[in-house]
Amino acid sequence: MKAITKARTGLNAKEAQLRVAMALVCNKDASCVAATDFGKSLIYQMAVLMMPNKVGLIITPLNALGEDQVLACMKFHLRACNL
């Protein structure tokens, strides 16, 4: 997962990010409470990168954050939209 994330996004995933993303890929319930700029969004993007036939649904209360995430996903060649 770390190598795929690096290849697709250019980012180096943290160990904690990998643990949560792997739980999602293994179909386990998971959540992440972390500080601003920890990279919580990357966790869910990594999971979608690993499961190309699945849909990731990310809910955010901030329109600006949603728009930023759509742009990031598009940069990583993931289809995304902000509703």
Q: Is 72 contained in some domain?
A: no
The DSSP letter of residue 38 is S
The structure tokens 């902000």 sit at: 82
Task: Give CA–CA dist 78/73, Å, rounded.
Answer: 5
Q: What is the pLDDT of residues 36-64, one digit of tens each?
A: 889 888 898 888 888 878 777 777 778 88
Residues 56 and 44 sit within 8 Å (Cβ to Cβ): yes
Average pLDDT, the chain: 87
Q: What is the pLDDT of residues 65-78, one digit of tens each?
A: 888 888 888 888 88
Q: Is 82 contained in some domain?
A: no
* Structural domains counted in the chain: 1
Q: Is 18 contained in some domain?
A: yes
For residue 23, what pLDDT is reported? 95
Q: How much is the pTM?
A: 0.77
Instruction: For residue 55, give both structure tokens.
Output: 């849909």
Q: Is 14 contained in some domain?
A: yes
For residue 77, what pLDDT is reported? 83
CA distances from residue 22 to 4, 65, 67, 80 in whole angstroms, order as listed: 13, 24, 25, 21
Domain that holds residue 11: 1-56
